[in-house]
Amino acid sequence: MPQENDQHSLQVPLFSAFDSIGFGEHGNIHHFDTGTLFWSLQRLFGSYERVMSVVELQYSELVFLDADLEHFIIRFRIVLNAIAFVVRQIFPKNARGVPSPGGPTDPRNQEMSIMDLMKYLEAHEDDLPELAFAFVAAKSWINRMRNDRDNVVHYKSKALIFDSDPISFALVNAAGTERTEPTAEGGRKLVLVPVAEFVDSQMMALHKFMQVELAEAVNAHAARAGLRTVSAGWNHRMQCLGISRFKLRNAI
């Protein structure tokens, strides 16, 4: 069991919240299927490590950074959908209007779009205020990552790495729909984003959303809905490659 002072582990209150409801309401700490989210987070932190371990190398040595950055963007969206998959389990399977996971695979691996869940919560914010507030507050950066992933997967975009200080990137594609800004001469130029700043800020936004805002929202929803909670275990933590670097860079 990872300890509090373990630099390679991270506290995960969201998992604790679901385990407590599962144990209290159903007598089963594993009632809610969180395995997909846990596995997806492990893969995302591994992708984070691949990017962040090389961003300070010379430009000539960054032969795989474009692919690793695209992989990070794709993995990030998978985690967002995995969050939606877990949150959906709070509601009854036959709840009216609530989108459900789908896909021709094992039920534990089915997909759930975070955008579909967000639309539902926005439409029912009076009935589900805690959950709706958490998702709406995160909407702007979730949309950013959704759009970047769609550009990479569906619209042939490529992460183009620039030899700048710091090392930066832009998503470019054949249609010419990349982000640009005006120049003083009246033309347009690509918007370059520092790789390390982008990756680190997205991971911090995810951490704040998952382990603070959403964890608190799930606990508040359980209290308001009269769901019984029983503490299940202690000190819920996850341990994997990339966590140590993430904690050191962000003073966690």
How confident is the model over 142-195, as pLDDT tens digits? 998 988 998 899 888 999 999 999 999 999 988 877 788 888 888 888 889 999
Map tokens 């670097």 to a residue.
245
* Domain assignment of residue 27, yes or no: yes
* Domain assignment of residue 17, yes or no: yes
Tell me the backbone φ, ψ of residue 183, rounded to 5 degrees: -105, 165
Q: How many domains does the chain have?
A: 1
Q: Could you tell me the residue range of the domain that residue 165 belongs to?
A: 9-250
- 11 contacts 235 by C-beta, under 8 angstroms: yes
User: pLDDT of 112-130, one tens digit each?
Assistant: 899 999 999 999 999 999 9
pLDDT at 52: 97
* Domain assignment of residue 2, yes or no: no
Q: What is the model's pTM?
A: 0.91
* Domain assignment of residue 24, yes or no: yes
Q: Percent of the chain, pLDDT > 90? A: 71
Nearest to 65 by CA among 150, 162, 139: 162
* Domain assignment of residue 3, yes or no: no
User: pLDDT of 71-96, one tens digit each?
Assistant: 999 999 999 999 999 999 998 887 78
Cα 226 from Cα 231, distance rounded (Å): 16
